[in-house]
Amino acid sequence: MNSEATTGNGADGTPRVSYIGNGSTLRSWLLTKDHKRIALMYLISVSVFFMMGGLYAAAIRLELLTPASDLLETATYNKVFTQHGVLMIFFFLIPSIPAILGNFLLPLMIGAKDLALPRINLLSLYIYWLGGALTLIGLMQGGVDTGWTFYTPYSTTFSNSYVMLVGLGIFINGFSSILTGLNFIVTIHTMRAPGMTWFRMPLFVWAHYATSLVMILGTPVVAITVLLLAIERAAHVGIFDPAIGGDPILFQHLFWFYSHPAVYIMILPGMGVISELISNFSRKKIFGYEFIAFSSIAIAVFGFLVWGHHMFVSGQSIYAGLVFSFLTMVVAVPSAIKMFNWTATMFKGSITFDTPMLYAMGFMGLFLIGGLTGLFLGSVGLTVHLTDTYFVVAHFHYVMVGGQVIAYLGGIHYWWPKMTGRMYSEFWGKISAMLVFIGFNLTFFPQFILGYLGMPRRYAAYPEELQVLNIFSTAGASVLGVGLVMPVVYLTMSLINGKKAEDNPWMHPGLEWRTSSPPPTENFDTPPVVTWEAYEFGEDSGLDIEGARRRHQESVVNA
Amino acid sequence: MSDNHNEGHIGYPGYIGVFAVLVVGTIFTYFSSFWDLDGMFFPGANTLLALLIAFTKMTFVILFFMHVYWNSKLIKLSAVASFFWLAIMFAYTMQDYLTRGSGVFGQ
């Protein structure tokens, strides 16, 4: 990475030091307050958790290759799927886009030198590490077998696994999320460059603003819920266990009050990434900017009102089920607004099928299926048949993996040149994107059918007549695994032998593309003044984007 | 932060006064739990009184210890919004508990 030590010349002609070259000691990284360096450390940490969660997923799919419980004992299987869920949700899906891409890009996109609270930003990384370390210690000592939802009274009374330690890890990790959200909100309110009005902000920033609201308002509730769980488990105070005067449904209310909005913590930043990709790779101003911006806020608000749809068969009252079912249908509207607007943006756009755009288009198809199958599960009658089956597993993987992970991968590819100053192999990028898409569908589409046929989730064994579909699913997981490992290889290789990235390799108008690749520590040579609208490809953008693109194409043709 | 942020708002006497309110509230909560308000008025009256005292104490903490009283309207709005969120959680949870065992429209 030494070649990225300098990054062109500054306004006064002197060589600029890039954020990567600004200190190479361990101390310079561990004590940095630079949002870009913190984002890179998050990238490495989150990737480690993603790989560990992926290994658990591989164990699950291998066990389900045959109908009998032969590879893993049933008790071990309980731990494996629990730990897959815990690692993926709390340590990968929730922090990945906000902590990596959000941290790196948010100040660049609004023309700020850093986040408003740089020390708090570093603190949130350390809290993430501490929470992750405690959770990993819990997993290594014997793990936890309650499912990632920690439902009571099993988790408080019966489970003899490491519920307390893993719960403590999640409790602590929640504060990392809260601090990141707080930092983003303060930064967006106070650090925007002159001319960067609210309606000139990239939709990525709007999405992170909405996500931050959910983080701040929701995360404390799950923290307190886990604390109450610990109090009941340790001190036998009757909160959730009916045997000592508690109510197990109360746990589900409190847990899902956070954990359903947490779905939006995961998906909203992904939607922000997709808005950037669709508009920029269609080379067209996004259709209905204000509607997309406010639909993010609407999702954040309505997302808090629908948690009861996870509890339709829990013993919750029929009336409450009816209300939550109606509100679930309502929350689909802002998501649909985004889908329609992205499609309208692509209409008559000048679309280029670069790797990030392949991911964006994959997102639209997969999230659509994930969202529509959510309506099945939100219908009180049908959900009685589908609850706790593989239909639910397929649905949330279409939203979480087909949505969030695909968006994350698209975003990483899109901003990789800016983050590292290097271009990756477009050929391998496209192959990987297609493998992920095919592998994902092969893995999870059969699970809709399995669920509809009645295969319950969280069991290591199943009837023989369901084996063919399970073999499809495991085969798909292998393809998906290859597709996910490939970027690790070619992105790492790009750091060694990748072509040097230009400042604006995609020729896009966003503020982050108007500084060097990789950016200097201060982000911009001179504080930017924004005089153009978001996603402005015309002359008003201040860049001769179309001219540069034409010249680039001519040079390719001549070559 | 607010432009008129000032550490010396109410001084030590003020802070001690607020602390005294909290202590009195705690003592009052303790003794009120011995009164049979549920029997005298309606079921849940004891809990309601305890919550009212707790809410009063909390208001003092937020306004004076957390300096919200002297802060900008945006900060005040944020504080109020967080209680609105809490109200949503209570209200939607209670719509389950209060209608448990009854049909859709209370039949």
Task: Write out pLDDT tens, residues A109-131.
Answer: 999 999 999 999 999 999 999 99
Range in A261-265, A323-327, A410-414, A537-541 the model is least confident about: A537-541
List the single residue in B82, B96, B103 with the smallest CB-CB distance to A316.
Answer: B96
- B74 band by pLDDT with thresholds 50, 70 and 90: confident
Contact call for A253 and B96, based on CB within 8 A: yes
pLDDT, position A153: 87
Q: Is the pLDDT of residue A1 over 50?
A: no
Range in A202-206, A549-553, B99-103 the model is least confident about: A549-553
Contacts of A317 in chain B (CB under 8 A): 95-97, 99-102
Is CATH 3.40.190.10 the right assignment for the domain spanning A37-558?
no
Identity of the amino acid at A321? G
Taking residues A295-311, report their average pLDDT.
95
pLDDT, position A42: 98
Cis peptide preceding A98, ω within 30 of 0: no
- A3 band by pLDDT with thresholds 50, 70 and 90: very low
How many CB pairs lie under 8 A apart between chains A and B?
47
- A160 band by pLDDT with thresholds 50, 70 and 90: confident
pLDDT, position A2: 43
Residues in a beta bridge with A61: none
Residue of B nearest to A258 (CA): B89
- B1 band by pLDDT with thresholds 50, 70 and 90: very low
Among A123, A222, A226, smallest CA distance to A166 is for A226
B73-97 vs A203-235: helix crossing angle, rounded to 10: 50
Taking residues A457-465, report their average pLDDT.
96
ipTM, 2 decimals? 0.82
A103-110 vs A406-420: helix crossing angle, rounded to 10: 60
Q: Is the pLDDT of residue B18 over 90?
A: yes
Query: Would you give the distance in Å from CA A114 to the centre of its chain?
Result: 22
User: What is the domain partition of chain A in residue ranges?
Assistant: 37-558
pLDDT, position A10: 63
Task: Write out pLDDT tens, residues A208-248.
Answer: 999 999 999 999 999 999 899 889 988 989 899 888 889 99
Taking residues A84-110, report their average pLDDT.
97
pTM for the whole structure:
0.91
User: CA-CA distance, A102 to A353, in Å (whole number)?
Assistant: 24
Angle, vertex CA A440, rays to CA A434 and CA A443, nearest 5: 140
pLDDT, position B3: 44
Cis peptide preceding A153, ω within 30 of 0: yes
| Distance from the A259 Cα atom to the nearest Cα atom in chain B, whole angstroms | 13
Q: Is the pLDDT of residue A506 over 50?
A: yes
Q: Is the pLDDT of residue B5 over 60?
A: no
User: CA-CA distance, A35 to A33, in Å (whole number)?
Assistant: 6
Contacts of A307 in chain B (CB under 8 A): 92
- A16 band by pLDDT with thresholds 50, 70 and 90: confident
- A8 band by pLDDT with thresholds 50, 70 and 90: low
Range in A394-398, A497-501, B2-6, B79-83 the model is least confident about: B2-6
Residues 248-307 of A with CB under 8 A from B: 249-250, 253, 257, 304-305, 307
- B104 band by pLDDT with thresholds 50, 70 and 90: low
Percent of all residues in chain A with a pLDDT value above 90, rounded to a whole number? 84
Residues 19-78 of A with CB under 8 A from B: none
Task: Write out pLDDT tens, residues A172-189.
Answer: 999 999 999 999 999 999
List the single residue in B95, B103, B105 with the smallest CB-CB distance to A320.
Answer: B95
Range in A15-24, A75-84, B34-43, B52-61 the model is least confident about: A15-24
What is the enclosing helix (H) or strand (E) of A15?
Answer: strand A15-17
A316 vs B: CB within 8 A: yes
* DSSP structure string for A1-12: -GGGSEEEE-TT
| Distance from the A318 Cα atom to the nearest Cα atom in chain B, whole angstroms | 6
- Count the neighbouring beta carbons within 10 Å of the beta carbon of residue A319: 18
| Distance from the B14 Cα atom to the nearest Cα atom in chain A, whole angstroms | 30
pLDDT, position B9: 74
CB A267 within 8 A of CB A399: yes
- A456 band by pLDDT with thresholds 50, 70 and 90: very high
CB B63 within 8 A of CB B18: no
Q: What is the mean pLDDT of chain A?
A: 93
- Count the neighbouring beta carbons within 10 Å of the beta carbon of residue A97: 31
pLDDT, position B91: 93
Task: Write out pLDDT tens, residues A321-380.
Answer: 999 999 999 999 999 999 999 999 999 998 999 999 999 999 999 999 999 999 999 999
